[in-house]
Amino acid sequence: MIEPNGFKQHSLVTSVGRIVYYTAEDSPWRLKDTAEPKELPPLVFLHGFGGGSSAYEWSKVYPAFASEYQILAPDLIGWGRSEHPPRNYHIDDYITTIIEFLEQSCTEPTPVIASSLTAAFTIRAAIARPDLFKLLILTTPAGLSDFGEDYSRSLFAQLAGTPMLDRILYSTGIATSSGIRSFLENRQFASASRVYQEIVDAYLASAVQPNAEYAALSFVRGDLCFDLSLYVPQLTTPTAIIWGQKSEFTGPEIGRRLAALNPQAIEIFQPLEDVGLTPQLEMPAVTIGLIRRYLNLLGSY
């Protein structure tokens, strides 16, 4: 895994396991010849799920905010450098660890930026504990079984749920350089030309961690999927949504339907042309500009 300049690794313990996170604490963000830096407000970035996911997903974006915020970018349980308990993972594991991470790392209601399925978990965490969240900025938030669609019935989910075949699928089709590149180029990005080698290497380094297959297979076989439309009406936290027009898993029409369920909380829905599931990797400069705008708009209340 790769940390941007000046970011260091720390960890904290949750009820599910130890979470590693990254925060700026060295040059160029903390100048050694100046007085003690003032305490900055926290800003949390949560990565989505897929073979080899980690906090790297946001690493081209969060340094842009390091002079204004205390950046907190964790590898979620089962991913990256965080602990990988050898178990089947469930939805409540991630909702719980998001809440516990905020409780332990933040002393005030915090803006949280999250991606894809993790963004859907974050909505549920904000419903359960609105006191922890100042605002949400979400890229392609989807439960992947939204409006009654059942992802677990898909062919890929069925294959991933077959004992023994699931491990073969992971080791030969997911946790390899060619498998990761193929997925990024054909399913995650709108343009294959934007997938450069560093991205592949970072995903592969996460995918080959000991026991990394447990969280990944829980995701692939659908154990972590749910119908987000059942929860969106309960959200009260001010929210902005960014949705890639070429997202392979859930198109922007799903996003528009979700946003329409609660226009009081979801104040902004912004589709992005020529972008897939992760605009933060595919078009980081555009994503930075939008996040900065939404922090100002939603944080002004």
Residue whose entry in the numeric block shows the structure tokens 């343009």: 191
Determine the pLDDT at residue 35.
Answer: 45
What is the pTM for the complete model shown? 0.94
Q: What is the CATH number of domain 7-298?
A: 3.40.50.1820
According to the model, what pLDDT value does residue 170 have?
Answer: 85
**Across 97-111, average pLDDT:** 97
Q: What kind and span of H or E run contains 11?
A: strand 7-13
* Sheet arrangement for strand 266-272: 7-13, 18-24, 70-75, 42-46, 110-115, 133-139, 239-244, 266-272
Lowest mean pLDDT across 165-169, 184-188, 226-230, 235-239 = 165-169
Q: What would the pLDDT profile of 65-103 be if each residue is shown by its tens digit?
A: 999 999 999 999 999 999 999 999 999 999 999 999 999
**Position with higher pLDDT, 165 vs 262:** 262
Structure tokens at 118: 């993790």
pLDDT at 160: 55
With cut-offs at 50, 70 and 90, classify the pLDDT of residue 278: very high
| Cα–Cα distance measured from residue 65 to residue 69, given in angstroms and rounded to the nearest whole number | 6
CA-to-CA distance for 9 and 190, rounded, in angstroms?
31
Residue 158 has pLDDT above 70, yes or no: no
Q: What is the pLDDT of residue 249?
A: 79
| pLDDT per residue as tens digits for the range 14-59 | 999 999 999 998 889 876 655 445 689 999 999 999 889 999 999 9
List the chain domain ranges: 7-298
Q: What are the pLDDT digits (tens) for 127-142?
A: 999 999 999 999 999 9
Q: Tell me the per-residue pLDDT of 217-238, one tens digit each, with 9 for 90 and over.
A: 999 888 999 999 999 999 999 9
Q: What is the pLDDT of residue 162?
A: 62
**Which residues, 6 or more positions from 163, have their beta carbon under 8 angstroms from its beta carbon?**
none
Tokens matching residue 60: 């081209």
Question: Is it the case that residue 115 has pLDDT exceeding 80?
Answer: yes
Predicted confidence at residue 36, as pLDDT, reads 47
Say yes or no to pLDDT of 189 above 90.
Answer: yes
CB 119 within 8 A of CB 231: no
- Considering the chain, what is the average pLDDT of its residues? 92
